[in-house]
Amino acid sequence: MNWAIVFEPDSLALYGQGILVTLGLLLSSLAAGAVLAVIFAIGLAQGPRWLARLIGTYTYVMRGTPLLVQVYLIYYGLGQLEWIQARWDEVWPWTYFKEPFFCAWLAFTLNTAGYTAEIVAGAMRETSAGEVEAAMAVGMSRSQVLRLIVLPSALRRSLPAYSNEVVMLLQSTSLASAVPAMTDITAAASRIYSDYYLPFEAYSFAAVLYIVITFGLIGLFRLAERRYLSYLVVRRT
């Protein structure tokens, strides 16, 4: 084994670039996906039947197909469409489909939006009827009940399940290495492997980086759960 290669300045710089790309892809996908997920969850839980079925079909497709296939369809598949090729040199937003980061970001955003929407919608359906009735009894409108009672309560109770989704999405960012010119953590390890033929050292160090980031995310969610879900803890006397 030759661990010295992994800790050379050039190798560490490559891994550092991979960390920045991985975190940038993860955080931006989560932010955009969360906005879409809340909108979709409202449609699933309280929208008209046709809208709930339409969104349900979307979430079923996102959860029922591999993320790697979704990445390939967006990066390679859409580029084969003539009406996109005719516009992606000058017409916004089709110009972004030439960018590897955007294609990976779009795939991860749409994927996590599908999973998160089902998580939040399930929490919304489980909101206590007593909370809703009490809010309506004091004169709140349906939109106020949704905005002030149902949605905040559902988001808080979704934290444990959502933390799993965030961790899974972090692991899934390794699929971005399948997109050319994307230097995430896995792609950095692959480059060191190809340059020095050190697969064990290169990918072991990448695994350690993923573990460190994962434990950091889990720690943040534990703090959030302690803050926002403490009222659900039954104290023993």
The pLDDT assigned to 130 comes to 85
In a domain, residue 35? The reply is: yes
pLDDT in tens, 52-111: 999 999 999 999 999 999 999 998 887 777 777 777 777 777 788 888 899 899 999 999
The pLDDT assigned to 133 comes to 84
Q: Are 209 and 21 in contact (CB under 8 A)?
A: no
In a domain, residue 77? The reply is: yes
In a domain, residue 190? The reply is: yes
In the predicted model, residues of the chain with pLDDT beneath 50 are 235-237
**What is the number of helices (H) and of strands (E) in the chain?**
12, 0
The pLDDT assigned to 135 comes to 85
Domain of residue 20, residue span: 3-232
CATH of the domain at 221: 1.10.3720.10
In a domain, residue 106? The reply is: yes
Number of domains in the chain: 1
Cβ partners under 8 Å of residue 5, min gap 6 = 11, 192, 196, 198, 201
In a domain, residue 237? The reply is: no
Distance between CA atoms of residues 39 and 117, nearest Å: 8
In a domain, residue 129? The reply is: yes
Distance between CA atoms of residues 163 and 176, nearest Å: 21
Distance between CA atoms of residues 97 and 73, nearest Å: 12
Sign of torsion over alpha carbons 34, 40, 42, 44:
negative
The pLDDT assigned to 80 comes to 76
Residue/partner pairs of 34-38 with CB below 8 Å, 24 or more apart: 34/113, 34/116, 36/109, 36/110, 36/113, 36/117, 37/112, 37/113, 37/114, 37/115, 37/116, 37/117, 37/119, 37/120, 38/117, 38/120, 38/151, 38/155
Distance between CA atoms of residues 114 and 33, nearest Å: 8
In a domain, residue 136? The reply is: yes
